[in-house]
């Protein structure tokens, strides 16, 4: 008899009603009876449409739209229309409901947002081969109705909260996409609480061991941290009360993801990360006293603790483009630790937590204009139909996560640019034609080159010439998406014109030699001259980088070009190096299971950017020219690969390990001492009998840093090696390191 799952319909009905009532409780009190009626109608339509559908976890599908609507209402504080659209966001995509029905039942506004959500629902489809183009479509909805992207962010957050029921490869894909695009988008929308939760949940699935280790250490230090915060806050509280302020003050732990980033960036262990929390002061201020109250509190703090002058962040005078306002300072505690303090008012706090939504509640010209300006700028960059979608999305992604600087025009107008922007970026910010003709700039009345990196408060005057045109070098001078997009487009147009000249010369010569001018012959000639495409060949001809006399040596049969056979490649013999031996051995043995097949049946390589070894969590990536490359899931390139090319990710895992050596890197730091290198090599070659490919040591002021490339059999052997090296006197830290070379996909 077949096993069948018995579904208790009554219990499910009660669960759905319980979730719906929970949603109703989270709605804003100022919703009108008409709006509540509309939400009820949306719930009933969604419940009916999804009634026979289930999620991977087995629960009724309708629970998902209710939870998304709850995030939209409670955590984002959005309007009734957004709640309705959240309830209906999957109906047109997954059920029989049509847009026309939605418009008829609700209104055009609801139909437009649901349409936007439907159009981008396939953006991250596992089998999508045009993912970058879909990313662009997703981002273009930013300008149609911002609520489309906000509901999509809520949808993604609920998916992350319920990832446990999905397969490992799907978890990795969703988590990677989140880190690549959704978390930066939430940050840019000012949704800091959501962005933080997204990053933490993504880390939980991409690097579970690291996540749980940091979470456990934070838990262990909780009591100690609470005492430190209480001692730190006490004098502050007394002083602020004495001065008559009304406020809340508390310690807020930093996110696991931000701690993980600090560990990676600074190369220090958890125990040496001091800023594991920040102190937050929320002032209950009158609207006209907000700024003066914040600065008054800053003054009170610095009377008690010494501030770090380099760590004052004033977002009161110049709020961030997403509307964030606050005063941040870092002070030295009486226990000798730096502590960050964030000073905000109730209004600023709501904007910081709920971002864009709070702007509809607090309409303030300056921040709204900044957001509109930013959205318009992004729309202009992304809507260029000829641009490469992947490059655009990558440029845009950097735009999302960058800090801002504030600079001025000669007339004193304020301009916002991302941190690291140059004089040339500023020129393109003023106008695309000003950027194209830019020859230099005057910053604070001093002449500077195009590549000059701007600082906060700089005043810039752009110098132009009608003879100036952009060149390839300019791409290394700019960091903003707008500038890069215009430069690339201009260079592309110039290349087309030059290539056309080269094409005419080539075709004329082909006709003289009785070669037919067709795609097959042009591709053959491109291969013959070792060019990637006929376009590259045209450019080379125009720039006189190829000699067309070589065409006379080719055989032509009835107009078709016949290329000479390539010479036989040299077969390496006894002098081949250890890398080649390892590579050959790998092809004869099956340590990996790729798509369910033994790897001896599939052509693959190990990615040099992360050098995977048996025991590592790995995935396969289908490259364009080099077959399958095996990467570690925590490879520096993994997030981008899984996000941008999910359709090229191949399920891969280790099976049995053979006696084969895999190349990996080890980094050591310690106190320089005579004979230390000898002790290190003795552990590697003497005690553990391992082969080294290279070893290098640098020493400065008594501290040394060493890098060793060594062949190990698996992660267990690597951990043993790291443990033995760490035990040596004088060694402070030993860690595995990845190649710093960017991978070519």
The answer to whether the CB of 190 falls within 8 A of the CB of 355 is yes
**Of 12, 59, 74, 94, catalytic:** 94
Q: Is residue 344 packed enough to be buried (19+ CB in 10 Å), middle (13-18) or exposed (0-12)?
A: buried
3-class DSSP state of 260: helix
Residues 6+ apart with CB under 8 A from 292: none
Cα 538 from Cα 524, distance rounded (Å): 13
3-class DSSP state of 327: strand
Q: Minimal CA–CA distance to 555: which of 531, 521, 527, 517?
A: 521
Is 93 an active-site residue? Answer: yes
Q: What is the dihedral of CA 439, 441, 445, 446, to 10 degrees?
A: -80
The first and second tokens of residue 608, run together, are: 């040099």
Q: Minimal CA–CA distance to 285: which of 316, 306, 253?
A: 316
Residues 6+ apart with CB under 8 A from 28: 73, 77
Q: Helix-strand-coil percent breakdown of the chain, rounded to 5?
A: 50, 15, 30
Cα 309 from Cα 101, distance rounded (Å): 60
Q: Minimal CA–CA distance to 260: which of 252, 250, 270?
A: 270
691 DSSP β-pair partners: 711
Contacts 24+ apart (CB under 8 A), 380-389: 380/482, 381/481, 381/482, 381/485, 382/136, 382/139, 382/140, 383/140, 384/485, 384/489, 386/489, 386/492, 387/485, 387/488, 387/489, 388/488, 389/130, 389/132, 389/133, 389/135, 389/136
Query: CA–CA distance from 613 to each of 498, 589, 594, 631, 693 (Å)?
Result: 47, 14, 15, 10, 16
Q: Minimal CA–CA distance to 502: which of 541, 545, 548?
A: 541
The count of residues in the chain is: 745
Is 94 an active-site residue? Answer: yes
Cα 252 from Cα 280, distance rounded (Å): 7
Question: Which DSSP symbol is given to 741?
Answer: S
Q: Minimal CA–CA distance to 641: which of 611, 621, 626?
A: 621
**Of 93, 133, 169, 673, catalytic:** 93
Q: Minimal CA–CA distance to 75: which of 348, 354, 356?
A: 354
Residues 6+ apart with CB under 8 A from 33: none
Query: CA–CA distance from 515 to each of 400, 507, 509, 547, 550 (Å)?
Result: 52, 9, 9, 17, 14
3-class DSSP state of 722: helix
CA 403 to chain centre: 15
- Helices assigned H by DSSP within 126-207: 131-144, 146-161, 168-177, 183-188, 192-206
Query: CA–CA distance from 154 to each of 66, 572, 582 (Å)?
Result: 11, 57, 48
Cα 585 from Cα 603, distance rounded (Å): 13
Beta strands in 296-437 (DSSP E): 306-307, 313-314, 327-332, 338-345, 404-408, 414-418
Q: Active-site residue numbers?
A: 93-94
């Amino acid at each position: 008899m077949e096993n069948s799952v018995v579904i208790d319909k009554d219990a499910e009905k009660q669960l759905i009603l319980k979730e719906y009532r929970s949603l109703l409780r989270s709605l804003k009190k100022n919703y009108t009876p008409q709006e509540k009626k509309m939400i009820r109608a949306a719930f009933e339509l969604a419940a009916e449409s999804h009634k026979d559908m289930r999620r991977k976890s087995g629960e009724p599908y309708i629970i998902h739209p209710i939870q998304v609507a709850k995030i939209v209402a409670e955590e984002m504080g959005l309007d009734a229309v957004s709640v309705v659209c959240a309830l209906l966001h999957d109906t047109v995509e997954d059920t029989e409901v049509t847009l026309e029905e939605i418009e008829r039942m609700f209104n055009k506004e609801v139909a437009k947002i649901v349409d936007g959500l439907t159009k981008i629902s396939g953006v991250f489809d596992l089998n999508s081969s045009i993912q970058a183009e879909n990313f662009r479509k997703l981002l273009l909805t930013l300008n149609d109705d911002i609520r489309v992207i906000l509901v999509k962010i809520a949808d993604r957050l609920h998916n992350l909260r319920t990832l446990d029921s999905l397969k490992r490869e799907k978890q990795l894909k969703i988590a990677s996409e989140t880190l690549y695009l959704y978390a930066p988008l939430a940050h840019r929308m000012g949704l800091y609480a959501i962005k933080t939760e997204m990053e933490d949940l993504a880390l939980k699935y991409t690097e579970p061991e690291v996540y749980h280790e940091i979470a456990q250490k934070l838990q262990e230090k909780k009591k100690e941290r609470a005492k430190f915060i209480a001692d730190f806050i006490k004098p502050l509280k007394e002083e602020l009360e004495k001065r008559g302020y009304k406020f809340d003050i508390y310690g807020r732990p930093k996110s696991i993801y931000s701690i993980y980033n600090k560990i990676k960036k600074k190369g220090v262990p958890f125990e040496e990360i001091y800023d594991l929390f920040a102190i937050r002061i929320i002032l209950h201020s009158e609207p006209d006293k907000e700024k003066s109250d914040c600065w008054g509190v800053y003054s009170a703090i610095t009377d008690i603790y010494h501030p770090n002058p380099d760590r004052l962040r004033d977002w009161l005078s110049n709020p961030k483009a997403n509307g964030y306002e606050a005063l941040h300072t870092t002070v030295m505690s009486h226990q000798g630790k730096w502590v960050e303090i964030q000073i905000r008012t109730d209004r600023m706090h709501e904007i910081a937590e709920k971002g864009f939504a709070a702007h509809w509640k607090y309409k303030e010209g300056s921040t709204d204009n900044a957001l509109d300006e930013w959205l318009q700028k992004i729309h202009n960059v992304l809507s260029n139909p000829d641009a490469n979608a992947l490059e655009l999305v990558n440029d845009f992604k950097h735009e999302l996560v960058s800090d801002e600087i504030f600079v001025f025009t000669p007339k004193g107008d304020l301009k916002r640019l991302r941190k690291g922007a140059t004089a040339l970026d500023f020129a393109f910010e003023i106008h695309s034609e000003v950027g194209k003709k830019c020859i230099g700039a005057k910053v604070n009345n001093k002449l500077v080159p195009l590549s000059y990196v701007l600082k906060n408060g700089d005043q810039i005057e752009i110098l132009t010439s009608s003879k100036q045109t952009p060149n390839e070098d300019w791409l290394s001078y700019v960091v903003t998406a707008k500038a890069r997009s215009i430069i690339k487009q201009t260079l592309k147009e110039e290349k087309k014109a030059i290539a056309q000249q080269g094409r005419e010369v080539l075709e004329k010569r082909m006709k003289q030699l009785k070669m037919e001018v067709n795609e097959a012959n042009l591709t053959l000639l491109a291969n013959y001259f070792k060019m990637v495409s006929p376009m590259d060949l045209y450019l080379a001809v125009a720039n006189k980088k190829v000699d067309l006399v070589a065409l006379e040596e080719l055989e032509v049969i009835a107009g078709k070009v016949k290329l000479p056979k390539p010479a036989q490649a040299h077969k390496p013999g006894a002098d081949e190096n250890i890398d080649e031996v390892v590579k050959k051995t790998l092809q004869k043995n099956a340590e990996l299971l790729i798509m369910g097949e033994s790897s001896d049946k599939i052509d693959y390589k190990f990615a040099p950017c992360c050098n995977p070894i048996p025991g590592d969590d790995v995935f396969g990536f289908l490259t364009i020219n080099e077959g399958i490359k095996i990467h570690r899931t925590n490879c520096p390139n993994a997030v981008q690969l899984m996000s941008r090319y999910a359709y090229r990710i191949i399920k891969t895992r280790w099976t049995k390990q053979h006696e084969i050596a895999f190349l990996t890197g080890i980094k050591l730091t310690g106190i320089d001492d005579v004979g230390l290198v000898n002790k290190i090599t003795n552990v590697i070659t003497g005690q553990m009998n391992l082969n080294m490919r290279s070893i290098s040591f640098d020493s400065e002021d008594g501290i040394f840093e060493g890098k060793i490339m060594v062949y190990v059999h698996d992660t267990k052997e690597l951990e043993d090696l790291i443990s033995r090296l760490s035990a040596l006197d004088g060694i402070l830290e030993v860690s595995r390191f990845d190649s710093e070379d960017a991978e070519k996909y």
